[in-house]
Structure 1
Amino acid sequence: MSTPLTLSRPGLVAGRDAQALYRATAPEFSGWLEHTRPAGGCARPIRLTGTIAAVDRDSGRVLSEQHTGELPDRTLYKACGNRREAQCRDCAWVYQGDAFQVVRCGLTGGKGVPASVGRHPVVFATFTAPSFGAVHHRHVARHTCRSRQRCDCRPAPCHARREAGTCRHGQPAVCFARHDADDPRLGQPLCLDCYDHDHQVVWNYFSGELWRRTKQAIERHLAALCRKRGIPLARIVTASGKVRWVPPVRVSHGKVAEMQRRAAVHFHCLLRLDGVDPDDPDALVPPPAAITVDNLEEAVHAAASQITVTTPPHPDRPQGWLVAWGEQVDVRRINSAGGELTDDKVAAYLAKYATKATEATGHCSTRLTPATIDNYADPEGNHLARLIDACWHLGRPTGTDTTSGAATADDRQDSLDTKPRPYAGLRRWAHMLGFGGHFLTKARRYSVTFGQLRDTRAIYRRTEDDNTADTITIGTLTYAGAGWLTEGDALLANTAAAQRRRATRLGREELAHEAWLVGAAA
């Protein structure tokens, strides 16, 4: 006769289903489900303990106080907020929605951004990395598919040549395969020994500086064009009372970094042309009529072809590395007549990549340390192992605190050369294959911020109940742990969150359909 399963202690229950059954049959299940709702769907929520107080907004008097020991599980659950879809799908979904709003508001206005920005000239530019060696790729000369995500177009041969040859290491220099979109060989070098892994990780590391100088060059090109066309400078009075004369145009950007399969980053950038109001420098006003989207497009191409960065000297390469953009610089106009790109399409496109990092390369790890580096780095290993090894090797201490190069006329280059251990960050960002920048950045005047969106959402949640509209919730909380207590709890909370998301999505689709019907009838 078998022994019946005891469900009195969920931490010792054998199996996720049994844990979920224990929780679902408990009398306080409904309260627990509502209690975990803020973190529902999170893969690894933060558990907090402490005191939560309700304070009167006007008088500051404490109206009520509650300790987390009185709550279900004696803890407060908070979503982890991780933006990476590979780490937490639900939190990445929230982040993606915020990213969509950040990008879209800079194109159409809303949430504090004036709607007039929708009439400003805007281009969508893609800056790619140069070649560091031949890799397997999939090239479709002309797409006929309806969706690139499910592309079934016939690609061209990978590296077809009339004469089959080999590299100096004896590896084939040709590839006649027509790779599928999910072919694991895509992005892999034809010859690992020919590929310049050192240069690629250095390019990833200094790509942020290359972008900074490129944007400066775009604005300088437009400023020179204003002088040529007789458009006067704008007189600005700073907060300290000083008078500054600035160009009458400025470029506001929203930028997303995407990691390619070959593990080199490239940037998708929205560049919006704004004017300058002397009476209100922070106002978003149209640019001068003489400066058009044609001039903005010309400035982008000119800057991309001219701007380079020479990295500081390194013991392995005393002359440094040249960091420049690749030949493929694509510039398209947004909402132009007959154009394929619209505000919503571009915003959704950039928001999608804001939740990704190195997943496209097949590598996903936390920050590497001397204790874990040997698990990933190998100078004789595959493509990713060699890139990680290059980061760790180039970022090693060299015995000197500074490296200095020959004096140049460019002060910015001098500041790079005299920076203490300019390559030390490669070890810190070895798990990101050298790239240490944010995957979504924007100019200060481009749009709203993530903080503003989060604050608005928090205020709405606090005030949706009329009884709490005049109170402020103050928590004195400390970290107690991360993750759900059991796999059964995770199953129940995440399933409930998925159902709420689905209901929300269906509701939005219905509202959009009704609005379309009303517009069609009118």
Structure 2
Amino acid sequence: MADLLRVANTPGFERWQEQVRRTGGCSDPIHLSGLTVTRDRASGQVLYSYSTAGEPGGRLRVACGNRRASRCPSCAWLYAGDTFHLIRAGLSGDPAKGTPRTVRSHPKVFATLTAPSFGPVHNRPTGGRCRCGSSHSEDAPELGTALHPESYDYAGAVLWNNHAGDLWRRFTIYLRRELAARVGMSQSALGESCRVSFGKVAEFQKRGAVHFHAIVRLDGPDGPEDAPPAWASTGLLDDAIRAAVARVSVPVAAAGDRPAMVLRWGAQVDVQPIGGTAGDGTELTEAAVASYVAKYATKAAETTGTVDRRIGELPELDKLPGLPAHARRLIEACFALDEAYPDRKLARWAHMLGFRGHFSTKSRHYSTTLGALRQVRADYRARQERQQRGLPDLDDAPEGSTLVLAHWTYAGHGHTPGESWLAQTIARDLAAGRTAAREACTELAELDDAGEW
């Protein structure tokens, strides 16, 4: 309370609130100190100058940009929004994002690739009881934990997570081979008539194993603007995906007391066609798939009860009384295997239960990029700033007519306890407006899917 009163009574409190709002209510803003000066290149006249010397604490606060909702809900919300538009552009097309509307008619499916079993776990089977004899509630803490911890293959589980990226890479290779075999042509000939594009996201299951959700699409050889060949179909894609999953394997050499093993995908493979419109009888619509992928793009292993920061050494776990025993054993397995497999950096990725890949990836021709979406937003804000400062728009000003000199240094990050409480209040107010905006965008997307907007 004392710190809260201090913040509220500090000179420049209104400006501090404005900075927090401009970060979107960021939970852990980056602090910068420095200055910027804009001059007319010809005359040397100062058109605009800014220094953090006049800011609260002599600092400018900018958003951290963390994608994890557990670390910063505000920045994660923005990341999820960008992911939604990136994924949806590759499903329904968006000329503003470099993807033609005709891509909507291309064959595409939503595939889920899972991990194999490393031992029985508590679950909620459809129409039955768990193997332990109980009917667990949906939020039961024991869900996903090992029925017999003493025999559960924790080492195999973290090694599988660690090699999941290699399994995915090999899957994309085998998928092209399977497609070529099914249409009776070589892989090089397939590349001249068809291109496979994808966008995927990783999700942690309750048991701590990674699985992938992927949109897989067939295009013509030049990408989304090119019509796929006549033989391309969702049925063919479904069959090729299942065959490719069955073929993929990644060998892991023996090390220490760990025998050699071969990693494969799990037996559960789900492939569903994605409907072009909301009323075509297909269960999965484009907007629904984009929303689903965007939701998991901001989550990581912390959904299993583990931590969302790197773990320096195992004794740190003793300071986490809420850490589930199942997650702790997976983390301990990472440290135990680190020396045996030094190139896999298992201890470094122990907080991710061994997984070291990117949570969301896409092929080059799937759609736009997150960088391009962020650049559009940055350009928009830059135009707003120039208008407020009375500077000419960059599109109107002759190229090179102004010179910007800037010097910035890192000055810290985060909030004090009182600032954190106030920032959360601001973030909640902003989130209410964001929720309304997102609902409106979702409604427009569904209308667009149905061809009604």
Please classify the TM superposition score into its range, dividing by the shorter chain length.
Answer: 0.7 to 0.9
Query: Aligned-pair distance for 1:103?
Result: 1.0
Query: Aligned-pair distance for 1:40?
Result: 4.0
The 1:500/1:389 distance shift into structure 2, 3 A limit, reads: closer
Tell me the equivalent position of 1:326: 266
Is contact 1:128–1:265 with CA below 8 Å preserved after alignment?
yes
Q: Deviations over 1:140-191 (max 9, x none)?
A: 25xxxxxxxxxxxxxx2011xxxxxxxxxxxxxxx11111110011011111
Query: Aligned-pair distance for 1:512?
Result: 8.0
Q: Deviations over 1:334-384 (max 9, x none)?
A: 00641110011111111111111112211114212237556389xxx9322
The 1:515/1:443 distance shift into structure 2, 3 A limit, reads: closer
**Counterparts of 2:150 and 2:294, CA distance in 1:** 36
Tell me the equivalent position of 2:244: 303
TM-score of the superposed pair, with normalisation by structure 2: 0.87
Tell me the equivalent position of 2:407: 476
Query: Among residues 340, 344, 349, which one is paired with 2:292 in the alignment?
Result: 349
Q: Deviations over 1:403-431 (max 9, x none)?
A: xxxxxxxxxxxxxxxxxx444x1111111
Alignment of 1:59-98 (within 5 A): 63-98=47-82
Range moving further from structure 2, 307-316 or 58-67: 58-67
**Counterparts of 1:496 and 1:300, CA distance in 2:** 46
**Counterparts of 1:127 and 1:511, CA distance in 2:** 30
Partner of 2:98, secondary structure, is: coil
Query: Aligned-pair distance for 1:34?
Result: 2.4
Query: Aligned-pair distance for 1:68?
Result: 1.2
Query: Aligned-pair distance for 1:87?
Result: 0.9
Partner of 2:16, secondary structure, is: helix
Partner of 1:334, secondary structure, is: strand
Query: Among residues 196, 202, 212, which one is paired with 1:251 in the alignment?
Result: 196
Is contact 1:250–1:274 with CA below 8 Å preserved after alignment?
yes
Tell me the equivalent position of 2:398: none
Q: Deviations over 1:295-327 (max 9, x none)?
A: 111100101112111112322234x22211111
Query: Among residues 187, 190, 210, which one is paired with 2:144 in the alignment?
Result: 187
**Counterparts of 1:122 and 1:453, CA distance in 2:** 23
Pairing 1:390–2:348 present: no
**Counterparts of 2:298 and 2:188, CA distance in 1:** 42
Partner of 2:203, secondary structure, is: strand
Is contact 1:248–1:287 with CA below 8 Å preserved after alignment?
yes
Tell me the equivalent position of 1:362: 305
Partner of 2:411, secondary structure, is: strand
The one-letter amino acid paired with 2:157 is: Q
Is contact 1:231–1:248 with CA below 8 Å preserved after alignment?
no
Query: Among residues 154, 159, 169, which one is paired with 1:212 in the alignment?
Result: 169
Is contact 1:226–1:248 with CA below 8 Å preserved after alignment?
no
**Counterparts of 2:141 and 2:362, CA distance in 1:** 33
Query: Among residues 85, 103, 106, which one is paired with 1:101 in the alignment?
Result: 85
**Counterparts of 1:496 and 1:271, CA distance in 2:** 40
Q: Deviations over 1:207-226 (max 9, x none)?
A: 11111111111111112333
**Counterparts of 2:347 and 2:43, CA distance in 1:** 52
Query: Among residues 99, 102, 113, which one is paired with 1:113 in the alignment?
Result: 99
Is contact 2:13–2:56 with CA below 8 Å preserved after alignment?
no
Query: Aligned-pair distance for 1:70?
Result: 2.0
Query: Among residues 368, 382, 385, which one is paired with 1:462 in the alignment?
Result: 382
Is contact 1:127–1:267 with CA below 8 Å preserved after alignment?
yes
Tell me the equivalent position of 1:225: 182
Range moving further from structure 2, 297-306 or 467-476: 467-476
Tell me the equivalent position of 1:157: 129
Query: Aligned-pair distance for 1:283?
Result: 6.1
Query: Aligned-pair distance for 1:19?
Result: 3.4
Partner of 1:272, secondary structure, is: strand
Q: Give the number of aligned pairs.
A: 434
Give the root-mean-square deviation of aligned CA atoms. Answer: 3.2
Query: Aligned-pair distance for 1:137?
Result: 0.3
Pairing 1:137–2:123 present: yes
Give unmatched runs, 5+ long, in structure 2. 395-401
**Identical residues among aligned pairs (%):** 43
The 1:435/1:508 distance shift into structure 2, 3 A limit, reads: closer
**Counterparts of 1:256 and 1:269, CA distance in 2:** 6
Is contact 2:196–2:219 with CA below 8 Å preserved after alignment?
yes
The 1:513/1:437 distance shift into structure 2, 3 A limit, reads: closer
Q: Deviations over 1:12-52 (max 9, x none)?
A: x7253x235425xx5x4433332333224111111011112
The 1:55/1:273 distance shift into structure 2, 3 A limit, reads: farther
The 1:362/1:520 distance shift into structure 2, 3 A limit, reads: closer
**Counterparts of 1:345 and 1:231, CA distance in 2:** 33
Is contact 2:335–2:350 with CA below 8 Å preserved after alignment?
yes
Tell me the equivalent position of 1:443: 363
**Counterparts of 1:383 and 1:480, CA distance in 2:** 39
**Counterparts of 1:287 and 1:59, CA distance in 2:** 57
Query: Among residues 96, 120, 135, which one is paired with 1:178 in the alignment?
Result: 135
**Counterparts of 1:321 and 1:93, CA distance in 2:** 40
Give unmatched runs, 5+ long, in structure 1. 1-12, 142-155, 160-174, 235-245, 399-420
Query: Aligned-pair distance for 1:77?
Result: 0.4
Q: Deviations over 1:435-478 (max 9, x none)?
A: 01111111111111111111111111111253343478664211
The 1:314/1:343 distance shift into structure 2, 3 A limit, reads: same
The 1:321/1:521 distance shift into structure 2, 3 A limit, reads: closer
Is contact 2:256–2:340 with CA below 8 Å preserved after alignment?
no
The 1:323/1:521 distance shift into structure 2, 3 A limit, reads: closer
